[in-house]
């Protein structure tokens, strides 16, 4: 009997005659956690889709040994029955069904008459939530009542409910708060101690370092190396991922900060479903030309709601004034915001950033289509030129601009969304978690771009939950805690501790 639970040997997967991964090996022992690392588009998700039979047996080359026997699964139902459970990079829940219904989707509990037993499902789901330390969740409410982080944890609950022998987590924490991430890592450790194995994919390498026993690194579809985590550190992983050493993660460039271009005064925003609840509470700030203003805070502090209000798409109640060049402006909707020079890269790429089945290229030019119109027709040539320019500038990895954006790797989709919002030449650019799901190398490129834009005088509001990123990039840092502005610090000798203290509502120093 082999010491391995899983052995993937020589896996090759092609899309339209292009090899996404080639001859990759991956081995996992029972109870072992393997970190799978690699740049955007390296082939991590593809390898896991081969394993879970999202790509069925016969659509790829190589072999998979599961518990010593060859696995030839044709669907995810078969792999789940074998004990392989995958949590995909993009959430896969049915928003209008309840939490319990989602957890038991396809596996509904029935009573003696064959009808769905909702009471039983709710009771079991509640038990599960308690076990997973999420007692606040009402399992009878639709999943959409919960934010991205909670939804992710519910998805994980659903997976754990399936008694996985091997749990695959593809970028599980990109929408989680620090505490939620800790909860998740603790849970995985607990399940590991009962013998569950896992494959953990993340661009957050400190998480990989915390959870993985072994790390496998792939680059451009090729296996680069597999080593015990104890012999590695995050710098070493980066070097293997990128193929060269990266000494400086933040390409800071001096740039001039000019006059105030944008001002928000007394902005308040109320919850859409519960109009008594204020999500943003009387926030005011100024933003100067060429200034990079970081907005730090815990996930759920109200930063995204603030950004939505400024960009003209908060569906609930809101108030406050917005000024551009000293004149009050009214932003009716996002299209209107773009016309007035305010652009936004949204946090939730899948819901607000892309039209999944439309080609990458048209996703990029969508915001400025009128520009290529002549006599009611689109001038395809000039549109294509603009698309190609953006694909080059953002280094978007795609075989053709005509492929659906959903076929790109997560990080490359993100780069396309950023490209889309640069085309209108914004004066004010709001970026909500701009590097979510983006690898270290591509992060570096996005930072370089942010500095380049700042040099050109664009005023940038960068919301980010990654403190090193805020401190590495911003000129000034606003901190929001429970909807209120609790800090406004020039980023000179600013420490993580100071920002964190303000983020949890206990500022060390008074807000400026």
- In whole angstroms, the minimum distance from the beta carbon of 136 to ligand ATP comes to 30
Binding to ligand ATP (CB under 6 A) within 368-397 occurs at 397
The closest alpha carbon to 52, from 14, 80, 24, 90, belongs to 80
- In whole angstroms, the minimum distance from the beta carbon of 218 to ligand ATP comes to 7
**Which residues make Cβ contacts (< 8 Å) with residue 503, sequence separation at least 6?**
296, 297, 298, 301, 479, 480, 481, 486, 487
Binding track, positions 72-111, relative to Mg ion; x by CB under 5 A: -----------------x----------------------
Angle in degrees, 0-180, between the axes of helices 118-131 and 148-160, rounded to the nearest 10:
100
Interface with ligand ATP (CB under 6 A), residue from 38, 300, 302, 441? 38
- In whole angstroms, the minimum distance from the beta carbon of 15 to ligand ATP comes to 3
Contact 55, 79 (CB under 8 A): no
**Distance between CA 218 and CA 223 in Å, rounded?**
5
| Closest to ligand ATP by CB, 45 or 304 | 45
Q: Is 41 in the site for ligand ATP (CB under 6 A)?
A: yes
Bridge partners, 194 (sequence order)? none
Q: How far apart, in Å, are the Cα atoms of 330 and each of 100, 280, 407, 475?
A: 42, 19, 37, 27
| Closest to ligand ATP by CB, 397 or 484 | 397
3-state SS of 208-268?
Answer: HHHHCCEEEEEECCEEEEEEEHHHCCHHHHHHHHHCCCCCCCCCCCCCCCCCEEEEEEEEE
Q: Is 408 in the site for ligand ATP (CB under 6 A)?
A: yes
| Closest to Mg ion by CB, 49 or 288 | 49
**Distance between CA 101 and CA 97 in Å, rounded?**
6
Q: Is 361 in the site for ligand ATP (CB under 6 A)?
A: no
Instruction: Specify the stretch interacting with ligand ATP by CB under 6 A; choose among 44-52, 109-117, 136-144, 278-286.
Output: 44-52
Taken in order 98, 103, 105, 111, the sign of the CA dihedral is: negative
Q: Is 410 in the site for Mg ion (CB under 5 A)?
A: yes
Binding site partner of 38, from Mg ion, ligand ATP, none, Cβ cut-off 5-8 A by kind = ligand ATP
DSSP state of 147: -
| Closest to ligand ATP by CB, 165 or 443 | 443
Contact 143, 129 (CB under 8 A): no
Taken in order 119, 120, 121, 125, the sign of the CA dihedral is: positive
**Distance between CA 434 and CA 417 in Å, rounded?**
9
Binding to Mg ion (CB under 5 A) within 4-63 occurs at 45
Interface with ligand ATP (CB under 6 A), residue from 172, 312, 346, 411? 411
| Closest to Mg ion by CB, 45 or 202 | 45
Instruction: Specify the stretch interacting with ligand ATP by CB under 6 A; choose among 43-51, 67-75, 90-98, 294-302.
Output: 43-51
Interface with ligand ATP (CB under 6 A), residue from 27, 44, 150, 255? 44
| Closest to ligand ATP by CB, 437 or 487 | 437
Interface with ligand ATP (CB under 6 A), residue from 8, 40, 121, 303? 40
- In whole angstroms, the minimum distance from the beta carbon of 449 to ligand ATP comes to 17
Size of the site for ligand ATP (CB under 6 A): 19
Binding to ligand ATP (CB under 6 A) within 428-457 occurs at 439
**Distance between CA 147 and CA 190 in Å, rounded?**
25
- In whole angstroms, the minimum distance from the beta carbon of 47 to ligand ATP comes to 7
- In whole angstroms, the minimum distance from the beta carbon of 85 to Mg ion comes to 17
Scan for tokens 């769905």, then name that residue: 116
Contact 12, 23 (CB under 8 A): yes
H/E segment holding residue 324: strand 318-324
Instruction: Give the interface with Mg ion as residue ranges (CB under 5 A).
Output: 45, 89, 410
Instruction: Give the interface with ligand ATP as residue ranges (CB under 6 A).
Output: 15, 20, 38, 40-46, 89, 397, 407-412, 439
């Amino acid at each position: 009997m082999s010491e391995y639970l899983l052995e993937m040997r020589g896996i090759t997967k092609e899309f339209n005659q292009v090899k996404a991964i080639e001859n990759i090996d991956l081995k996992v022992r029972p109870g072992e956690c393997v970190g799978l690392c690699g740049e955007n588009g390296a082939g991590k998700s593809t390898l896991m889709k081969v394993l879970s039979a999202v790509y069925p047996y016969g659509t790829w080359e190589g072999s998979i040994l599961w518990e010593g026997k060859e696995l030839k699964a044709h669907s995810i139902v078969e792999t789940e029955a074998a004990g392989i459970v995958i949590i995909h990079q993009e959430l896969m829940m049915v928003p209008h069904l309840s939490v319990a219904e989602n957890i038991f989707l396809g596996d509904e509990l029935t009573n003696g008459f064959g009808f769905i037993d909702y009471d039983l499902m709710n009771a079991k789901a509640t038990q599960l939530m308690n076990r997973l330390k999420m007692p606040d969740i009402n399992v009878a409410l639709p999943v959409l009542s919960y934010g991205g982080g909670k939804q992710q944890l519910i998805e994980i609950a659903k997976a754990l409910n399936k008694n996985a022998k091997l749990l695959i987590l593809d970028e599980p924490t990109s929408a989680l708060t620090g505490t939620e991430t800790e909860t998740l890592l603790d849970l995985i450790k607990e399940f590991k101690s009962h013998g569950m194995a896992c494959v953990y994919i993340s661009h957050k390498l400190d998480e990989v370092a915390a959870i993985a026993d072994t790390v496998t690194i792939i680059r451009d579809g090729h296996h680069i190396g597999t080593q015990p985590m104890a012999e590695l550190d995050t710098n070493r992983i980066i070097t293997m991922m990128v193929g060269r050493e990266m000494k400086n993660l933040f390409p800071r460039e001096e740039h001039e900060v000019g006059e105030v271009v944008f001002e928000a005064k007394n902005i308040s925003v109320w919850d859409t479903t519960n109009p008594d609840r204020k999500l943003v509470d009387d926030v005011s700030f100024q933003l100067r030309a060429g200034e990079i203003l970081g907005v730090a805070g815990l996930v759920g502090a109200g930063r995204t709601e603030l950004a939505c209000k400024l960009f003209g798409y908060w569906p609930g109640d809101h108030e406050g004034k917005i000024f551009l060049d000293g004149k009050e402006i009214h932003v009716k909707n996002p299209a209107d915001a773009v016309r007035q020079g305010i652009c936004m890269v949204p946090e939730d790429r899948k819901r607000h950033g892309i039209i999944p089945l439309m080609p990458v290229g048209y996703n990029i030019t969508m915001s400025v289509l009128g520009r290529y119109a002549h006599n009611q027709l689109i001038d395809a040539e000039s549109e294509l030129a603009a698309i190609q320019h953006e694909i080059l500038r953002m280094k978007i990895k795609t075989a053709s601009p005509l492929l659906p954006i959903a076929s790109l790797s997560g990080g490359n989709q993100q780069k396309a969304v950023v490209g889309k919002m640069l085309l209108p030449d914004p004066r004010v650019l709001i970026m909500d978690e701009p590097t979510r799901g983006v690898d270290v190398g591509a992060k570096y490129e996005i930072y370089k771009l942010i500095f380049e834009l700042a040099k050109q005088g664009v005023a940038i509001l960068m919301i980010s939950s990654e403190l090193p990123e805020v401190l590495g990039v911003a000129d000034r840092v606003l901190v929001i805690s429970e909807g209120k502005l609790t800090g406004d610090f020039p980023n000179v000798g600013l420490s993580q501790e100071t920002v964190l203290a303000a983020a949890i509502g206990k500022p060390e120093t008074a807000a400026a």
